[in-house]
Amino acid sequence: MSARCTLVPSVALLARSATTYADTPMSYLHTYGPAGDPITRLGWGLGTISIAVISVIAVLLLGGLFRHRTERASDDAQLAVGREGGGMAWIYVGVGVSTVVLIICMGWTLVTTAIVLHPPSTPALTVQVVATQWWWRLRYTSANPSRTFTTANEIHIPVGQPVRFELASVDVIHSFWVPQLSGKMDVIPGQTNVTWLEADKPGVYRGQCAVFCGAEHARMALEVIADTPVDFRAWQDDQLREDPPPGSVTVRAGQRVFQAHCAACHAIRGSDAAGIVGPDLSHLMSRRTLAAGSLPNTPGNLAGWIADPQSLKPGAQMPDHLVSGPDLTAVVEYLNTLQ
């Protein structure tokens, strides 16, 4: 069996694995926008150089090891001790080549840094992100105050345009990271950091808090959904639209339960609930996930989360057993109407 017979399938397997891995939701082996793409190219470049360096050193090392194998030192008389001189060329050539490569990489790095630091054009849209233990408050501002609204955890952006993000924290350090669109930016109390994202094509891009921020740091995800401009406008309109008043008896009952048990922390636009401690739940059913990306947004999950949030996210600020029994059924039905 020649080396080629094992090499080709191995490379193919590796390449296929690489593609498979590139397709996972948090992978940045491929990115999908101008905030991330120059980084990805540089990353692949540096990665390739790194693999090459490892391979070269490995070959040199193995070569040196197997050139003159000697008997074990504990056998017979002292092994000959070689001359002092020789070998300096290794250092000169090795360091010389390394320096040239480093300088090239430094230059490429500086260029990439300059490119990704600022969006190519002035963003028309700014989203204010407030990170808190363990979810993301989002505020969409607008020149027109009637088009300003608050939501949570699920960010929508129009494709093909840069979007500016102003990042603030009300408690500890977090980090805002949507790997398929760009590098991360820490969210630090006392200062507002600014970053930008742009998606080339519509899709769902997962993000996650990237700096340890306490017990449920592992469950502080987010989603960035890139819409066509038409769909984005429609989403904005949906978020701003006032829901019709509750129709059925159960739904009205559910609204009363919500007002009694949930409104202290949560807000729903168009109702009396105006709590700001927890995520804004307006149009909750328009979101794909619950609990900062921890659960798919299904009625069953919603009921389970309301009944017992501590079993999914121990330490979350939402207490267990706020509602149960018929109250739980009613409030879930009410929330299901928030499309």
Partner 1 sequence: MTEVETFRAPLVARATDRSRSSQILEQNWKGPGGIAGWLSTVDHKEIGKRYLVTAFLFLLIGGIEAAVMRAQLTQPNEHLLTAEQYSQLFTMHGVTMIFLYALPVLSGFSNYLWPLLLGSRDMAFPRLNAFSYWVFLFAGIFLYVSFPLGAAPDDGWFNYVPYASRAYNPGINIDVYALGMVLLGISTTVGSINFIVTLLRLRAPGMSINRVPILIWGTLTASVGNLLAVPAVSLAFFMLWMDRQFGTHFFDVSAGGQPLLWEHLFWMFGHPWVYAIVLPAMGIVSDGLPTFCRRPLVGYTPVALSTVTAMVLGFGVWVHHMFATGLPAIAMSYFSATSMIIVIPSAVAVFSWIATIWTGRPVFTSAFLFFAGFVILFVIGGVSGFMTAAVPVDLQLTHTYFIVAHLHYTIIGINVFPVVGGIFYWFPKFTGRLMNETLGKWTFWVMFIGFNVGFFPMHILGLVGMPRRIYTYPEGLGWGPLNLIVTLGSYLFAIGVLMFVVNVLVSLKRGKVAGDNPWDGPSLEWSTSSPPPVYNFAVIPTVASRYPLWEARLHQGDDRSSTRQGFLLDKGRETMGTTSLDAEPDVILKMPSDAYSPLLLALALAALFVGALLHSWWLLGAALVVITLASIAWLWPQRSLSQIET
**Is residue 53 at the binding interface for partner 1, with CB under 8 A as the rule?**
yes
Q: Whose Cβ is closer to partner 1: residue 191's or residue 339's? A: 191
**Is residue 98 at the binding interface for partner 1, with CB under 8 A as the rule?**
yes
Q: How far is the CB of 333 from partner 1 (least distance, A)?
A: 28
Stretch that binds partner 1, among 36-44, 231-239, 253-261, 329-337 (CB under 8 A): 36-44
Interface residue with partner 1 among 128, 161, 172, 203 (CB under 8 A) is: 172
**Is residue 254 at the binding interface for partner 1, with CB under 8 A as the rule?**
no
Stretch that binds partner 1, among 49-57, 228-236, 243-251, 297-305 (CB under 8 A): 49-57
Q: How far is the CB of 162 from partner 1 (least distance, A)?
A: 16
**Rounded CA Rg of the chain:** 28
**Is residue 148 at the binding interface for partner 1, with CB under 8 A as the rule?**
no
Query: In angstroms, how far apart are the furthest CA atoms of the chain?
Result: 100
**Is residue 14 at the binding interface for partner 1, with CB under 8 A as the rule?**
no
**Is residue 181 at the binding interface for partner 1, with CB under 8 A as the rule?**
no
Interface residue with partner 1 among 148, 191, 228, 339 (CB under 8 A) is: 191
**Is residue 119 at the binding interface for partner 1, with CB under 8 A as the rule?**
no
Find, among 144, 140, 145, the residue nearest to 158 by Cα.
Answer: 140
**Is residue 240 at the binding interface for partner 1, with CB under 8 A as the rule?**
no
**Is residue 177 at the binding interface for partner 1, with CB under 8 A as the rule?**
yes
Find, among 98, 104, 108, the residue nearest to 42 by Cα.
Answer: 108
**Is residue 125 at the binding interface for partner 1, with CB under 8 A as the rule?**
no
**Is residue 10 at the binding interface for partner 1, with CB under 8 A as the rule?**
no
Interface residue with partner 1 among 125, 128, 139, 184 (CB under 8 A) is: 184
